[in-house]
Structure 1
Amino acid sequence: MQKTVFVYRATSNHLEVCRWQDIPDMVFIFIRVIPFVMIGIVLMLLISNPALSIAALAGPALVGIGLASVGGDSSYQTYWQDFQHDDYLWSEVLEAMLDAEQGLIVLTLAYELPAELAAQIENPEQFTSQDVRLYFRKDQQTEVIAMVRSQIPHIVLTPGRQIYEF
């Protein structure tokens, strides 16, 4: 039920990329409603069979209340939607590749590994560049290519094929 949403904003100086998992709002509504259903079931069980201990039924009711508080929390929703925001300068683009078959432009940018990470990696010299992927629909291809070419006119947009490594 998840899909990744990409939003790009290009200015004359930089490219802004936002990415998140589009989890249906129905999931978070369900998390907020389920506790009331659980409490209703607990009350019905207690009324129908008084021999049931209140202590035995309190656990599911408390779990339901906990779910309601977590499901309604906006920071919980942001965490599970995996929201990321990045800015890249057009001036740092080293090369660009167009994969028209997949609807993708890959921009390779200069990248400097932070010192604390470089100290933990055996060969930090291999991390000198970073790829940024710009996805687009086929019907938007000409507009996206024109926008990228206007922002980085000194770099040739070479055709190629993106290979995903896992």
Structure 2
Amino acid sequence: MFNLNKALELPSQLEWKFSHEPELMAWTIRARNYNTFVANGMFAFMLVVIMGWAYFFYSTSASGEPSFSRLLVSICFYIVCASVISTMTHQRMNFAFRFTKSGVEYCKWKDFPEWALTFLKWLAGITAIVFIFMATIDPSFLLGALIGPGGVGLTYLSMAYSKNYREMHTYYHHYAFKWEEFTQLAIATNREVVDLKYTITMDGDDFETNWSLNVFCKRKTKEKVAELIRSYLSPGVPFIKAKVNVPLSTD
């Protein structure tokens, strides 16, 4: 239903700069290109906060409302909020890497998470059916049907038809580097990353910019990727193994 494991394909908005050259190595991967420790901590904290709010809604609902109805509303609230938070703290970026004799280039992009809309649509439909069925037993469940599934439906509509929300979760970038621009190669010991430090002069600048390129790869291919990169670097470029701190953004 969600197609979470479908193969990655380079979107039409992006293209390779060195497409005329044979590739030495190329692959695509989904990766979390940010500090995962901080993101996981934020997610855990927000889950506790959301749980507190869910309990608050459950305990402060009208006394005449059935406990099962209040429980369903609280659960719906918790699931929706947790799902929205997870799309922010656990989102994965799509990457495509390509090595040629001229250098390293990669594309990164993020498509709008249609699976989240599908999830909310199904959740709203299923919970609405449950509440309507329960309302045949006790009419007070109709209130829960308005609050629970109704809230999920409003969340779905705001995400599906908000242009700003879609633009915030959709973008495309392409980068290209020459081999001589890299000043250090490091194999990360804490993540599946090969880190490359580089020095370049940006267009319009009269000074050099120093930054890092995180090459995300599979655990089994990390050493192979590093060795290939090493063979094309300038003589004397340091090659180390170290803990790598993935930045929040490289833009």
Calculate the TM-score normalised by the size of structure 2: 0.41
Q: How has the CA–CA distance of structure 1 residues 151 and 28 changed in structure 2, closer, same or farther, with 3 Å as cutoff?
A: farther
Q: 1:100–1:90: structure 2 CA closer, same or farther, 3 Å change rule?
A: same
Of 107, 110, 114, which residue of structure 1 is paired with 2:196? 107
The 2-side partners of 1:110 and 1:134 are apart by 16
Measure, in 2, the Cα distance between the counterparts of 1:114 and 1:47.
Answer: 68
Q: CA RMSD in A?
A: 4.5
- Kindly provide the amino acid, as one letter, of the partner of residue 242 in structure 2: R
Cα pair 1:96 1:157 within 8 Å, conserved: yes
Q: Which residue pairs with 2:10 in the alignment?
A: none
Q: Secondary structure at the match of 1:16?
A: strand
Q: Distance in 2 between matches of 1:53 and 1:135?
A: 50
Matched, 1:15 2:96: no
Read off the aligned partner of 1:99 and give its amino acid letter.
I
* Matched-pair contact (CA < 8 Å) for 1:99–1:105: yes
CA contact (8 A) 1:94 1:110 kept: yes
Correspondent of 2:133 among 31, 41, 44: 44
| Unaligned 5+ runs, structure 2 | 1-85
For residue 210 of structure 2, what is the aligned residue in structure 1? 129
One-letter code aligned to 2:215: L
Match of 1:143 in 2: 224
Confirm or deny: 8 A CA contact 1:17 1:85 kept in the other structure: yes
Name the residue aligned to 1:32: 121
1:8 is paired with a residue whose SS is: strand
2-structure distance, mates of 1:39, 1:138: 44
**SS in structure 1 of the partner of residue 126 of structure 2:** helix
2:184/2:198 contact within 8 Å kept: no
Shift of the 133–39 alpha-carbon distance from structure 1 to 2, 3 Å rule, reads: same
The equivalent position to 1:65 in structure 2, one of 147, 153, 158, is 153
In structure 1, what is the Cα distance between the partners aligned to 2:180 and 2:157?
Answer: 44
Deviation string for 1:36-57 (max 9, x for gaps)?
A: 122113322432234x396674
- Residue number in structure 1 paired with 2:83: none
Q: Give, in angstroms, the shift of residue 95 of structure 1.
A: 0.6
Partner of 2:54: none
> How far 1:100 moved relative to its partner?
6.6
**Cα offset for 1:3?**
7.6
State the alpha-carbon separation in 2 of the partners of residues 110 and 133 from structure 1: 14
Pair 1:146–1:34, CA change in 2 (3 A): same
Aligned to 1:96: 184
User: Structure 1 residues 146 and 68 mapped into 2: Cα distance closer, same or farther (>3 Å)?
Assistant: same
TM-score, normalised to structure 1, is 0.56
